[in-house]
Structures are given as C-alpha cells and as structure tokens.
Copies of this chain bind each other. A is one copy, B any other.
Amino acid sequence: MGYREELDTPCLVVDLDRLEQNIAEMAAYARERGLALRPHIKTHKTAEIARLQRQHGVVGFTCAKLGEAEALADAGVLDDVLLAYQIVGEQKIRRLLALMERARVTVAVDGVEVAEALSRAVREAGKTLDVLIEVNTGLNRAGVEPGEPVLRLAREVVQMPGLRLRGLMTHEGHVGKARDAEELAEIACRAGQDMVDSAELLWREGIPVEVVSVGSTPAAFHTTAVPGITEMRPGTYVFYDNASFRFDRIGPDRCALRILTTVISRPAADRAVIDAGSKTLTMDPPPPDRRGHGYVVEHPEAVIVRLSEEHGVVELPPSARELRVGDRLEIIPNHVCPAVNLQDELFVVQGGRVIGTWPVLARGKVR
C-alpha cells in the first residue's frame, strides 16, 4: 500500500530522495564558492534533517530562538550555533550561558544596550561570547543601517569586555517582494554589497571581520555571489515551497514536502472542501503572482480560495470537477516553515512508501 492510502490526513510527507538532493546541491554550491554553510533550522526543526545537513558539510546551524538551539543540542546534533536574534532579558541570558556550556554560540546584536547586557553577563560568568552585528539591508525589521552606523556600533562592541566581535550578519528577506527574477537579483546583490562595504569600513579601522553572513533561500545564489561574503544561511532550501518556484529553476518537482489531504465534502460542482485548514496550511499569503493558500499538485489550476481552521475551500477548474469525497490531494504550502511548526511529526517516504517518522522536535520553541 502506498503512502497516499496508508496515512491518515492531513499530514506532512517528506520525500527523502528529493530532500537529499536539495541538501546536497546547496552544500555543493557553498563548497565550490568557498562559502561557509550555516543553515537555519527553523524550516525543519528535526534532528534527522540536521544530521543529513551535517553529513553534507555545514559549519554549524542558525537558530532564531534559544529554544530551537536547546532542542537540537538535546538531540546531540548541535555544537556550533548562530543565534540570529537579539537575546534580551534575564531569563534568556541565563539560558544563553547554559547553552554556551554545550555549544559554540554566536549572537546577533544591533544596539549598545543589548550588547552591554550580554557583556556584563558573560563577564560575571567568566566567559567570552562571540557576536555579529546585525545589519538592516532593507527588510526594515531589526538591525543597524549599513555603513557608518555599523562602524559606530562596532567601535563600541570591540571595547566591551567578554564580547568578541566576529563580523556582520543580515537577513535579506525583502527579496520576497521582487516582481521578477531581475529585480530579485538586483535587491539581493545590493544587500550583499552593503554588507561588504560595511565590512570594509571596519577593516580599514583595524577591526577584524572574520564573518560576513547572509541568509534567505530565494536570494541564496545572488547575495552570495558578491565577493567578500563568507557565509550563507538558507533555510527553506531543504524542502522548498510555493514561494520558491516563482521565477527560476525550482519547480514543484523539487519540493520535498507536501501536505497530504482528503476531500471531505463536494457541496457544489465547482467546490471541494479538504481537511486541511489554517491549522495545517497556515494563513501565510501566496507569492505576489499567485492565488490561494497553497499549490495543489494534482490540479495546479485549482485555487484554495478560503481557509477555516480545519477546512480548506477549493475552487475547482472544469478539469477537476470529477473529484470525489475521499480522494486525496497533495499541497505544496505557500510557506513551508510555519506549516512544519504546526506538526508533531513528518512522515518520510521513499519510492512512494512510508519508511519512517521524524519528530519535529523544536516545534513551538518560540522562546
């Protein structure tokens, strides 16, 4: 019996061969260009996939939240981690110090206050903490502005006892709003250049910059092409998703994760209801040139027009009107990372059969 009949729905199915291909390709790209590969674990949150990434050569992992890093460390697959996030507050600093006993830890900082609090804490604990300055290259989230503001913060951080400034990092996630491949390349290269220019300011002043780190799967092959970038931190590439195959070489056949779902109602000729709603597919919007809450593999013309928590309402093209209650569909989610975060486990398939189950061990670790 194949996995489509065997598994109860809705559930997340990972094709092992596709997954390994995606992991191997990104590793090869990094290797060929002499880039350090430090994948973000937010996409998969599983020990087994982290292990595969290690087998293919990574320098370590990236996490947003301490809880993700703790979960991976507990599973024995994390010994070098960048917390690409501001660590703020007593509770978090205590946990950071504990994590430093178990792994090499680098932390992002984007302000004097946060850096000073870290400096004070690690000094009292008799430790040294590696830090990267977070740079805003256009996402307009956290981060200091490129150029002089980076230099000003760097001058302060290098003076702070207990901290060792290792370089700069950014997340160029604003490539997501690009309207075409050309614009994407342009935004990504601009972000990379801003990083390298900022790094150069530091060099000129004698502040060593060992790491110039960029993130984001859609920008991966553009930002990293700027000479001077040393590290890449893609996340989504292990699975890819509906936002991945907008302009370029990534087609749905490369998407290693699909949501298996069942048609539970056919109330009208042009409407089917599936058992995956916002608690499975998430409410993350499609990329700008698409419609609906995911890509229906069997019927790419079908549009998932509306989600309730446990229902997906699918508008059917004439070619899909034969769909019956009980039929199964596979959906590529708009954004795979939050979809994985809703699950307790991923079902692993190879050659159309279920070969295992992987717990999503860092699920819900938002602290």
Contact = CB atoms under 8 A, between A and B. Distances in A.
Interface of A: 8-11, 42, 64-65, 85-86, 88-89, 91-92, 110-111, 113-114, 136, 140-144, 173, 262-267, 271, 273, 275-280, 282-285, 306, 308-311, 313, 324-326, 337-338, 341-344, 363-364, 366-367
Taking chain A's interface residues, is the majority helix, strand, or loop, or is none over half, making it mixed? loop
Contacts of A263: 88
A142 B337 CA distance: 29
A265 B142 contact: yes
A366 to B, nearest CB: 5
Nearest to A263: B88
Given A113-B325, A264-B85, A282-B283, A367 B8 contact: yes
B271 A140 contact: yes
A262 B366 contact: no
B284 A86 contact: no
Given A85-B264, A88-B326, A273-B142, A366 B337 contact: no
B111 A265 contact: yes
**5 smallest beta-carbon distances between A and B, as pairs:** A142-B265, A283-B283, A8-B91, A64-B310, A86-B264
Contact of A285 (B64, B276, B283, B338): B283
Contacts of A282: 278, 282-283
A266 B110 CA distance: 9
Given A141-B267, A142-B265, A279-B338, 18 more contacts: A10-B366, A10-B367, A42-B309, A86-B265, A88-B262, A113-B326, A136-B267, A142-B273, A143-B265, A144-B267, A277-B366, A278-B282, A278-B338, A282-B282, A282-B283, A309-B338, A309-B341, A310-B366
Contacts of A276: 366
A88 B283 CA distance: 24
A91 to B, nearest CB: 4
Given A364-B342, A366-B342, A275 B309 contact: no
Contacts of A313: 140-141
A262 B142 CA distance: 14
A62 B18 CA distance: 40
A143 B42 CA distance: 38
A360 to B, nearest CB: 9
Contact of A141 (B110, B266, B308): B308
A311 B142 contact: yes
A278 B284 contact: yes
Nearest to A327: B88
Which of A111, A143, A310 counts the most chain B CB atoms within 10 A? A310
Given A88-B264, A342-B364, A141 B11 contact: no
Nearest to A95: B8
A258 to B, nearest CB: 15
Nearest to A142: B265
A59 to B, nearest CB: 22
A92 B64 CA distance: 37
